[in-house]
Amino acid sequence: MQHIKDEILKLVDLLNKYSYQYYVDDNPTVSDTEYDTLYKQLEKLEKKYPEYILENSPTRRVGDVVLEEFQKVTHTIPMLSLSNTFSIDEINDFDGRIRKLLPENKIEYICELKIDGLAISINYENGKLIEAATRGDGMIGENVTENIKTIFSIPKILKDNKTFEVRGEVYLPKKSFELLNNNREKNGEQLFANPRNAAAGSLRQLDSKITAKRKLSAFIYSVVGENDIDSQEEALILAKEYSFPINTNYKLCKNITEVGEYIKYWEENKNNLPYDIDGIVIKVNSFSSQEIVGYTQKSPRWATAYKFPEEELATKLLDVELSVGRTGIITPVAVLEPINISGSVVSKASLHNKDIINELDIHIGDMVIVKKAGEIIPKVVRVVRELRKENSLKYEMPNICPSCKEKTITREDDPFTRCVNPNCPEQNIRKIIHFASRDALNIEGLGDKVVATLYEKKLIQHVIDLYSLKKEKIIDLERMGEKSVDNLLNAIEDSKNISLDRLIYALGILNVGKKAGKILAENYGTLLSFSKATMEELIGLQDVGKITAESIIDYFSDKNNLKFISDLIALGINPTYTKEKISEDNLFNEKTVVLTGKLISLTRNEAKESLERLGAKVTGSVTKNTDLVVTGEKAGSKLKKAKELNISVISEEEFINLIKEV
């Protein structure tokens, strides 16, 4: 029976490897479907040959290892995982087992959306949030208390002195994921594969300031240690009463037929949600019935998770296109025969970098398997080598830049192929686009297409050329009427009055984002002073790490960049950082403020920035600790709660008048 032992050993090693990549590295290399298939194969072998079960088998664990950097937290009640089902037949089998164990009971099931995120436990003592931990291995998790406190929807203080534990799922909304990856792309950083990985990586940051920027959200689905509730439905209602975010798409089902209808509905409508789900959780609703049904060593018998099948489709890879980013990174993109996947037509998919291309063993003309990673970004996951033609050629990343035709650089320790030519057209176009973007110099009318047209017509070749544009040169360009041209030239001239932090961000230095721009502006005061920064100084600054410091030193070691700085200063673009003096006795200083409803004169971010500048703390939920609520149009539950708690309320117009007086 040695071959059985060997097969079990191989499966255990492979599944443990995949689990480590998923739970610890936040970098899964196989689909959930593939993992679950292998897992079921191992379960089947272990059931038939229990004498060969290994101590480190994943079937004997709930989760996986705890990262060493975090303090360990022992769960008072284990955080068990759920068994998985993959078909309506398996759901009916689950129902059959429940009915055998509860022959005389009326059985109701509660169905909840299975959020694709990271399981979390949060403990409250006398109404205060004292500790939060990840599931970890089910018995011991990672202490992420400070990071959980950055999630606005999670209350730090309850409305009374309750002591209990809540459990839920931390996730990243699709919009937040898109913004996060956009910012990482701007900064030349590697993109997250999907929202689940981004959420896990964000929650496991040792610096809670980084977590706070990621805009995580959470749903609470369980209350532990509360004796006054008798069902899962009551637990959700109680959680909502205590201002915890719950997913309101749950449904109490009277029988398994209604469960099937619920599953079918969300299989068809899951893509309309603003967050990712990967299935449906089905639980016996009654707590007393749950106790009768009981638990296995690994999971509750009274609950199961129905997993949606991942939609992976085969199509032909026609070609590989290359794009050059502003930092010189050359990104390969697969050109595909169009297919409809997860509700949209896909004709291109990311191949990321040379390492991924080599790992997949990409040949032009290959039949490839494509899925939407996180149901957002199309991704080639594998090649069907059995269908490959004998004379097909393996694709190699080019040693010539597709834009400027100069030689590229590829290092063994770097997965990316790079163009280092400072005169590369595509790089320069993207640098100009970044310089003019909303978060940088905010030059209205200078969008991507306008920049590309001006560059192609050789009216600009570098950022600095923007400031020598003449009306007579651009008035005849397509879609550039006289008013548009005047507005554009005025916007370019106005951009000279930019703040230092925005200008530093606009330079496009690798790893220097908006926050770093503000820190650097505050510490160096002028552009010239910043250009002379030393490595020792930079590393000594709060929130400026070694990687960012090295990027800054590299930037200013390039004579072309030093000339650019000199040219900006010669044009009069030479702001001095001055810290705005705000009176500490203003109405908003040290106050907790909530914004609600649709604001008309200000964006939500503008209002938030104004409040924070005045020393206020802006939160997302109204509690007894809220000092003031600012209301826009169609203010709803937050306004109602503010009135119930007798909290001061002002309109947007009143708010604008008040900040003008400060």
pLDDT in tens, 124-152: 999 899 999 998 878 888 899 888 988 88
Q: How many CA atoms lie within 13 A of 133 on its CB side?
A: 26
Q: Which of 334, 398, 399, 390 is nearest to 362 (CA)?
A: 334
pLDDT at residue number 197: 80
For the domain made up of 1-61, the CATH class stated in words is mainly alpha
Structure tokens at 191: 């993109």
CA distance 193 to 210: 18
> Which member of 5, 40, 114, 159 is catalytic?
114
* Cβ neighbours of 48 (radius 10 Å): 9
Three-state SS at 369 = strand
Domain with residues 312-415, CATH architecture: Beta Barrel (2.40)
Q: Given this chain, do its domains 425-497 and 500-571 carry the same CATH topology?
A: yes
Q: Does domain 500-571 have CATH number 1.10.1740.10?
A: no
Q: Which of 378, 280, 356, 328 is nearest to 84 (CA)?
A: 280
Contact 119, 167 (CB under 8 A): yes
DSSP state for residue 416 in the 8-state scheme? S
Superfamily assignment of 592-661 in CATH?
BRCT domain (3.40.50.10190)
Domain with residues 425-497, CATH architecture: Orthogonal Bundle (1.10)
pLDDT band at 228 (very low <50, low <70, confident <90, very high): confident
Report whether 424 belongs to an annotated binding site.
Answer: yes
DSSP state for residue 515 in the 8-state scheme? H
- Within 195-274, residue ranges assigned H as helices are 195-203, 208-213, 232-241, 256-269
Distance of CA 376 to the CA centre of its chain: 12
Report whether 253 belongs to an annotated binding site.
Answer: no
Contact 322, 333 (CB under 8 A): yes
pLDDT at residue number 283: 97
- Range with the poorest average pLDDT among 188-192, 218-222, 372-376, 435-439: 372-376
Report whether 111 belongs to an annotated binding site.
Answer: no
Over residues 217-235, the mean pLDDT reads 90
Over residues 25-50, the mean pLDDT reads 76
pLDDT in tens, 501-545: 999 999 999 888 887 888 899 899 999 999 999 999 998 887 788
Q: Is the pLDDT of residue 62 over 50?
A: no
Q: Is the pLDDT of residue 27 over 80?
A: no
Q: What are all long-range contacts of 475-482, with beta carbons under 8 Å and residues at least 24 apart?
A: 477/453, 478/453, 480/450
Q: How far apart are the first and last CA of the chain?
A: 82
Report whether 33 belongs to an annotated binding site.
Answer: yes
The ranges assigned to domains in the chain are 1-61, 83-307, 312-415, 425-497, 500-571, 592-661
Residue 131 amino acid letter: E
- Range with the poorest average pLDDT among 3-7, 66-70, 234-238, 457-461: 66-70
pLDDT at residue number 56: 67
Say whether 209 is catalytic: no
pLDDT in tens, 249-295: 999 999 999 999 999 999 889 888 989 898 999 999 999 999 999 98
Q: Is the pLDDT of residue 2 over 90?
A: no
Contact 538, 550 (CB under 8 A): no
pLDDT at residue number 300: 92
Q: Is the pLDDT of residue 115 over 50?
A: yes
For the domain made up of 83-307, the CATH class stated in words is alpha beta
Q: Is the pLDDT of residue 65 over 50?
A: no
Report whether 93 belongs to an annotated binding site.
Answer: no
Q: Is the pLDDT of residue 64 over 60?
A: no
CA distance 4 to 602: 67
- Range with the poorest average pLDDT among 164-178, 430-444, 579-593, 645-659: 579-593
Report whether 404 belongs to an annotated binding site.
Answer: yes
Report whether 35 belongs to an annotated binding site.
Answer: yes
Q: Which of 489, 486, 507 is nearest to 569 (CA)?
A: 507
